[in-house]
Every structure is written in structure tokens, then in C-alpha cells.
Structure 1
């Protein structure tokens, strides 16, 4: 490995360069990285970048899911829980069934169990790809919230299908009542273990003295500890990481200081940036090994490609049909419950159906298939790898490059799920100013305000951005308390005001953290 260190270092530099290029030409970086990896793989003498299959899940998935859950909004997740739940569980299951039936019928020697194995691998869309593409086009908050929420849960549901299918392939049998009990434990145990470990970390960091360095290190090891603990307990490690991360994210202001939150944000952005870049580049670099495996299985390149495009077509049409099926179900539900949207429209389902790019999870899952089964090669492993590769490449290139055009062409309306941005910001500034002045009246001595506090009072009264932060010790304590009061007001508004976009509230909270850090520099 040490002799290839220069190559790995060059890959990191290449990832940064390609993402810079993608931003310049406004092309989603997953597409560019996959194509670049594919080109590099054909260069003579390039070292084979290979990771042991059983380590794929442990290396990549826990931190990627942890970061996605940390950035997700629990409020948005709960608000869209019905459609998110439908796409994350019902759609994934129906997709897996469709793939299993088609693969069993059209691919020679493909059993139903292998079909479900393939279905579990390719059924979950990739949030990283969708997020990278959506940043180049303005979309309603509703779409991004649904896609982000779906990606958190569909990974878990697809991997549960994959695990049961793998057991059926290995043992040659499927006992439904054992599978049912195992499924219940995987879900309940996974969620319970994730939340429990989240509570332990939250309480530990709150009551024991830690600094930003310790908090960042703990945040880096937390997803791995949660995942490994759940897997060792035969529960769902994916659900455990998601549930634990959501709990910690929701309580971040109760156990982390401003320094830890700000510095951890920077560290995690760089860490996830590198992981995403590596995993998409790895997709392209793996092609030569996959195609050589096809020759060993005696499957022609043409037939394998035909099977792969057939599965891709099933995935694309299936997701589109289910998306419009959800509209019909919603309209029927609106006759019985008031929360269902009576007129969801036809354009939103098309976008949700078209945003079905596959990526990180599908790659990690397919590479985790064991190489051998009882000493003999795992049946059709290389064909499954090749089909997955083509599915990822085809959906990224076809759907990924056209999604911005589709969104612009459809002219999706703003659904008014939240107050307008300017109105929300004015409302938050007014509430913070009122809370700050009220706190001063209760805890300060109005007749003895220093010049600094008088300027801050003027700032709150007239909503002026005052820059002078040179303050006296007593003022520092009082102002720091006011910042904490503002923080609690924002958290309260986020919990109680459904129409207030949490993304804007998080920006205000971020500014308060920066303000608190600026005080420490004086």
C-alpha cells in the first residue's frame, strides 16, 4: 500500500480539482467523478483501488448517514412523514419486488432470492447525487425536504431487504415467521440502540468537562460506535445511526458549546467532502475488475449490458408509476383526513419520480457481497456488480444531467409551505430584539447602561448591525446571557411555528454562535 501512496494522494487532489470544475461548468460533481474514475481505470499501470467488501459499510455509510441526519430537519421530516414513509418503505419494497421478478424471468440462472438481493441493492436513490444536482437549480423546499427525508430511511429499508435476501441465498430457504421477528427486532432494536447511545453521549458531554477538540473527536467516532453496536446486536445499524444522529442533532444546543458546533461543522464538511469524492471515483475505478469478472462467469459483455439497461428501465418506470400512484392515494385520503393535500398536482410527482439517481449506498451494498459462498464463488456476484455499476452510471448521467432542465421546464410553483424568506427574517429579528430588551429590563440596570449596552439597545430597537464588540467584563456576561436567551427563543420558535423554515432559523443560530465566539476573542 505504501508504494501506492502517491497515487492515493493524487486521487485526493484530483477529486478537489474535479469538484471545482463541476462548480465552474455547473454539472453535478458525482457525474464528473464517476466518468473520471472510468477514464482513469483504463490507463495502463494504474493501481487497483480495492477495499475489502466487509469494510465498505463500516468505512463509508456510518459517517455519511450521520452527517445527512445531522443536517436534516426533524420538523420537516415529521411534517412530510407520510410521503417520506411511503417512498422510503413502500416504494423501496415495490421496487425490489419488481426487480426480483424481472431479473428472475429474463436473466438466466437468476433465482428469485438473487433477484431480491439485486432489488435491495439498486432500490434506494442517492441523496448525495440529488443534493449536488439540486444546488444548481432553485426548487421548492417541499421537494428537497422529501428527497432528503426519503434518503435517510430508504437506505435502511433497502438494506433490510438485502440482508434477508442474502440469508435466503446462503441458506437456500426463507422462513417467514423467523424473518418477521428478525425484521421487528432490526427496526425496534436499531432505533432503540441509536437513541440510547445518543442519550449517553449527550449526557456525558453535557456533564463532563470537554473542549472543542474532544467534542469533534467524539462526533467522529459516534456513528461508528452506534453502527457497530447495533450490528453486533443483530439490529439495523443504518436505522441506529439515523435515529441516534437525529436525536443528537435535535439536542445539539444542549450539550455542545458554540466553539464545538462551529469547528465541528468545518471538520465534518471536509470529511464528508472527501468521503463522497472517493466513493464516486471508486465507482468508475471498479469497472475493469467488474468486466474481468464477467468473463470468468462466461457472460458476454453485450448480454450483461442488456440486462443492466433492462433493470435500469424497470427502476425508472417503477419509481415514476409509484410517484403518480401516491397522488391517487393522496386524493383518496383527502376524502377522509384533513391533513392530506387535496390537490398535490402532477408536476411534483414527476420531479420526485425523475430524481431517482443511484449512488453511494448501492455501491457500498454490492461491494459488500461476499466473494465466496461455502468455498465456491458467490453466484452471479460479478454480474450483480456490473448491473449495479451500469444502473448508477445510467441514472446519474441520464436523470442527473436532465433533472435541472426538467425542474425549470415544469415551472413548479412555490407551495407556500413556509413564510417568505424576508418576512421570516424580519419576524425573527423582531422576536430576538423583544426578548433581548425584556431580558435587559429584568436583569440589567437601565439607568446605568454602559455606552456599549446603549449601542446594543439601539441596535435591537432600530435593527442596526453594530460592529463594535469591545466590551467590559460585566457587559460580557450580560451580553453572553442575552445571546443564550436569543438562542432559546429561536429554538422555541422552531418548535412552535410550523410555517417558519428551520433552515433560516439555523442560519440565525449560526450567527449567534459566531457572535459568542467573537466575544471570546476580545
Structure 2
């Protein structure tokens, strides 16, 4: 019960963050809003009590695993196959370089042992593509750098986890077993790839066999719920299965996501309703889960300052956190310039774009479940918190000076509004040209005006009250109204087709409005 209440409170905070950013605080990246909301939850006694203690393994399985799965789904397998050398370079060689440089740099500060320094370094290696998108909101990251940042973030989480386990064994035993480390790495990584691809293929075949049954394909009432349930359960099932046999669950869910990208591409028309529902659910789930990550970060940032001895000597963990961040940025800068052969501008974008988020956060908390001393764990938490905050703040500021801005969204919105009004006006004119009973005509014209935003709350209340008193339509009236809607939507499509033939630059706007018409038609036809 406590877990359900906690989930409800955190989800509510994430939803509030989304609403605030979209409707009031457009200029502030949503990650900062969610961190602030999380800190507010932790500072208010009632809400702080409602949110249960953070559990890293639960967080990895319930939040991080599906996020990585859906990120993998946004990446084509062909791209990964084409860039496999660069992926290995970034997620193994560069990660090892960051690990070594950050580890020795943290040890050089002179306040911790070498094993503890490398625990900190291992936790600092994973990056978060979603967090990178947040700090570049409203700006354009060049395609090459954006691709490398995304591919790196998909696969370097597993490297960070394996390096962390190695460093913890070093801390506990006092030595590193290089043979065992290499064997564990290969078993975990290769095993994760095999489990991810094989299990995903089995689940895909099961789902596709369901969708290709004649009794289902020809059943107009089938909404694809069983296949959708299998799809949503996939990342959880694969992650925990992989972890149960001690291979990388993170790599497994990413590989499964790549396979599902190909499945979605080749089954769009097998059951369009299912694909539409899957896309809507995935987008909603991903947005809320990303919000939960930073809400929980805000909660934890407040909680770790309570009963924490390290908080009384901030100079140590502040300096170590800065050293970790600078070490990672320096390695990323040099590596992208001299190994990846990027120019200096691209190298800086790539170096600063390696933002730390969910996985760094979870790995830091995993240390608490090991034999690491309490005081050392507190140092890890505080230093990694500094690392995460710096990785968010620095690019948020610097990118404003080195990246171009996106096209003026206000101007785009004005054009969308202009064309939407014009296409709806054509539809209304067409409806006025045909015979319809007055009540049906008023109903369809009200809906069309609502489509272009020309109805107010007062209009809605009037129509709402009238609908409450209106009896059900008979079959003839229903068919007449449906035909009128189809005629209106057809008129709108013809207008957009004319516009697209006149000006190619309007194609993105036309595509956006065309999809609106299709969704509206689905709503009407399925009502």
C-alpha cells in the first residue's frame, strides 16, 4: 500500500511538472522543474513521509529498463549495425579512458583511497540521452553529434555497471582480478545481447501470430489489448530475466528495443489501431517516467543532506564532484577530437552533451547495498549529486552560446493556425451547401469551429447542456451525420493537398494538420 501511495505522489508531481513547463514555464527545461518539485516533496513532512525510501534495483527495473527499451525503439537496427565500431569505441575505450582519468584525478585530491576513487569514477561514466535533449531544448544539436550521444547513452550504462562492480570488489578485497573482470564483462555484455535479441524475437513472433489470426484480423471489435499488454510487459520481463541469469539487463532491453523498432516499421498496417494505441501509451509512459527520474532526484538530494556527516564538510565532496565532471568532459573532448575526428565545435558539443541522469543516480545508490562504509557511501552520494547537477547546468548555459536556435515556434504555430482555420472554413462552406436537418448541421458546425479553436468555454457549456437533454439519434440520423463529417474531412484534405502542391516548404505543417484530420475522423467513426 505504501508503495502504491508513493508511486501516486511521485507520478502526480511528474504530471504537474509537465503541465507547468508546457503552459507556464516554457523557458525552463522540464528536468529543473521536476527536481524542484521533488525537493519540495521532500521538504514538506506529509509528502516526504508518503514517498518511500529509494531502492536502486527497483528503480532500475521499473523506471530505467523501460526507458532504455523505448529509447532503443526509436533507433533503427541498421544504424546500430552500421556504427558498431563507433559504438564499441565510445562505450568501451572512451568509457575506460574516462574511468581511469576520473579515478586517478579523484584519488589525487588526497582525501580517499584508490578503490573508492574508482567507485566514484565508474558511477560517473553512464550518460542519459533524454537529459541531453532537455538541456538543449529549443536548440539544434547537429545530426552527427546527436547520433553519437544517443548511441553512446544506449550502451554505456552496462559498461558503467560492470566497472562499478569491479571497483567495489577492489574496495572489499583490496585487489583487482583482471581476468575475472574481463570474463565477467564479456559474459554480461554478450549474454545481454543474446538474451535481448532472442527473447525479443520470441515475443515479437507471439504477438505477430496473434495479430495475423483471421479471427482477429477480421474482427472489427478487436482493439489489440492482448498484443499491447505483451508489448508493455516486454522490457520488464526481459530485464528481470537477464538479471536472473546474471547477464546485463540494460543491454538486453536496449537490444530488444532495436528489434521492436523493426517490428513496428513492418507491421504498421497489420493493425493500425494497435500501432496508434502503442504509440500513445509509449509516449505518455516515457514522458511520465522521465519526469519521475528527476522528481526522485530532487527528493533524494534533500534526503541525503539529513543525518549525513559529509554535509558538514562540503569542500571535500564539492571538489571531488567537480573533479569527476571535469575529468569526464576533458576525456570526451580529447577523444572526440583526436579519435572520432570531429572538429573543435563538434567535440565541445559532444563533450558537454554527455549529461548524467537516471543511471548515475541509481548506481550511486547501489553502493549502499554493498560492503562500502557508511561515510564513504555518503561521500559517493554527495559527489555524484554534484556531478549530475553540473552536467545539467553547464551545457544549459554553454549551449545557448554555441548552438543555433530552432525555428521560431511562435511563427510555426501562427502558420498552423492560419492553415487550420482556412481548411475548416472550406469544410464549413461545403456543409452549408448541402441539405442537413438544422440540429445535425448545428452539431457538425459546432465541432468544426471547435477544431479551429473558435469555441469558448461559454459555447461549450451551452452545447454540453443541450447534449444532456438531447435524445439518441436514430440509425438514419447517425448515418447522415457520419456522411456529413466524412464530406467535411474530405474537403479539408483537398485543401491541404492544394497547399502542399503550391509550396513545398509547407509540407511539415500540412503533414501535421493531415494527421489531425485522420485522428478526428477516427474519433467520429469509432464513436
TM-score (ref. length: structure 1)? 0.71
Corresponding residue to 1:214 among 226, 238, 251: 226
Give the Cα separation in 1 of the matches to 2:104 and 2:399.
29
Shift of the 401–73 alpha-carbon distance from structure 1 to 2, 3 Å rule, reads farther
Instruction: Quote the residue 2:293 is aligned against.
Output: 279
Which sections of structure 2, spanning at least 5 residues, go unmatched? 217-222, 407-485, 501-507
Instruction: Quote the residue 2:17 is aligned against.
Output: 18
1:180-207 per-position Cα deviation (integer Å, ceiling 9, x unaligned):
2222111211100110101100111122
Deviation at 1:238, TM superposition (A): 0.9
Shift of the 3–64 alpha-carbon distance from structure 1 to 2, 3 Å rule, reads closer
1:231 and 2:243 equivalent? yes
Shift of the 172–9 alpha-carbon distance from structure 1 to 2, 3 Å rule, reads same
Instruction: Quote the residue 1:429 is aligned against.
Output: none
Corresponding residue to 2:94 among 87, 91, 95: 91
Q: Kindly report which structure 2 residues correspond to 1:46-57, keeping only aligned pairs within 5 A, or say none.
A: 46-48=47-49, 49=51, 50-57=53-60
Give the Cα separation in 2 of the matches to 1:326 and 1:355.
17
Moved over 6 A (4+): 462-466, 509-520
RMSD of the alignment, in Å? Answer: 3.7
Give the Cα separation in 2 of the matches to 1:12 and 1:59.
13
Which sections of structure 1, spanning at least 5 residues, go unmatched? 331-343, 412-451, 467-502
Corresponding residue to 1:166 among 162, 168, 193: 168
Corresponding residue to 1:77 among 70, 77, 80: 80
1:266-324 per-position Cα deviation (integer Å, ceiling 9, x unaligned):
111111211111110111111233223531x6962332222222222222333222222
1:257 and 2:271 equivalent? yes
Corresponding residue to 2:321 among 308, 320, 325: 308
Shift of the 383–364 alpha-carbon distance from structure 1 to 2, 3 Å rule, reads same
- Equivalent residue of 2:139, what SS? coil
Instruction: Quote the residue 1:397 is aligned against.
Output: 393
* Number of positions where the alignment pairs a residue of Structure 1 with one of Structure 2: 418
- Equivalent residue of 1:358, what SS? coil
Instruction: Quote the residue 1:183 is aligned against.
Output: 185
The range that moved more, 50-59 or 221-230, is 50-59
Shift of the 39–351 alpha-carbon distance from structure 1 to 2, 3 Å rule, reads same
1:106 and 2:109 equivalent? yes
Deviation at 1:513, TM superposition (A): 9.8
1:469-489 per-position Cα deviation (integer Å, ceiling 9, x unaligned):
xxxxxxxxxxxxxxxxxxxxx
Instruction: Quote the residue 1:34 is aligned against.
Output: 35
Larger Rg: 2
Give the Cα separation in 2 of the matches to 1:251 and 1:516.
26
Instruction: Quote the residue 1:140 is aligned against.
Output: 142
Give the Cα separation in 1 of the matches to 2:246 and 2:278.
31
- Equivalent residue of 2:343, what SS? coil
Deviation at 1:154, TM superposition (A): 1.4
Alignment check: 8 A CA contact 2:95 2:159 kept: yes
1:407 and 2:408 equivalent? no
Give the Cα separation in 1 of the matches to 2:239 and 2:354.
26
Instruction: Quote the residue 2:470 is aligned against.
Output: none
Instruction: Quote the residue 1:388 is aligned against.
Output: 384
- Equivalent residue of 1:395, what SS? helix
Give the Cα separation in 2 of the matches to 1:300 and 1:279.
27
- Equivalent residue of 2:368, what SS? coil
TM-score (ref. length: structure 2)? 0.70
- Equivalent residue of 2:403, what SS? helix
Q: Kindly report which structure 2 residues correspond to 1:433-512, keeping only aligned pairs within 5 A, or say none.
A: none
